Amino acid sequence: MPRLAVLVLMLSGCAHGTLTGEQAHAKVSQGAFLLDVRSPGEFAEGHLAGAVNVPVNELEATLSSLPVDRNREIVVYCRSGLRSSRARTILLKAGFAKVGDLGGMSNWR
What mean pLDDT do residues 8-16 have?
Answer: 44
Catalytic residue status for 14: no
Catalytic residue among 54, 56, 78, 87: 78
pTM across the whole model: 0.84
Looking at residue 2, its pLDDT comes to 56
Number of structural domains, the chain? 1
- Measured at the alpha carbon of residue 107, what is the angle toward residues 94 and 25, in degrees to the nearest 5? 70
94 has pLDDT over 50: yes
CATH of the domain at 81: 3.40.250.10
Looking at residue 64, its pLDDT comes to 84
> What is the extent of the structural domain holding 26?
3-107
Cβ pair 27, 19 in contact under 8 A: yes
Q: What is the pLDDT of residues 30-83, one digit of tens each?
A: 999 999 999 999 999 999 999 999 999 999 999 987 877 889 999 999 999 999
